[in-house]
Amino acid sequence: MPIYEYRSVEKGCSHCSRGFDVIQNIKDEPLTECPQCGATVRRAVSRFSACVMETSGETASLEEKLSEYESEGKWSHAAELADKSGLNDRAMDNYKKAGYNF
């Protein structure tokens, strides 16, 4: 279930003026009053952060070599490299393009 943030619209208690979180079902109606003092509250826009995944140099060079083989039509080379690297789906696709029947 999502966590929603609420803040007071008018002067409220320390609980709602700083803001508070509530776990609610997505289908639930938003709160309109602070559960502690009864002041009017509104859902706040939550901040979020993004996660950036960096790949290692080894992974990048593997991807570069595979793409090079595939763009040159060297399907069997690409299939072998993908197979050795544990990229089974990609290896099977390249084996099929190379004409192997499985």
- Asked if residue 16 lies in contact with residue 41, where contact means CB atoms within 8 angstroms, the answer is yes
Query: Residue 11: its pLDDT value, please?
Result: 87
Collapsed DSSP state (helix, strand, coil) of residue 100: coil
DSSP string, 72-94: TT-HHHHHHHHHHTT-HHHHHHH
Count H helices and E strands in the chain, helices first: 4, 3
Q: What distance in Å separates the CA atoms of residue 86 and residue 23, rounded to the nearest whole number?
A: 41
Q: What distance in Å separates the CA atoms of residue 89 and residue 79, rounded to the nearest whole number?
A: 10
Give residue limits of the domains in the chain. Answer: 3-43, 57-97
**Mind listing the pLDDT tens digit of every residue in the chain (102 residues)?**
688 899 999 888 988 888 899 998 889 999 999 999 999 999 987 666 667 777 788 888 999 999 999 999 999 999 999 999 999 999 999 999 999 987
Q: For residue 43, give every residue at least 6 positions away whose Cβ sits within 8 Å of its Cβ, in sequence order, or none.
A: 4, 5, 6, 30, 31
How far from each other are the two terminal CA atoms of the chain, in whole angstroms? 44
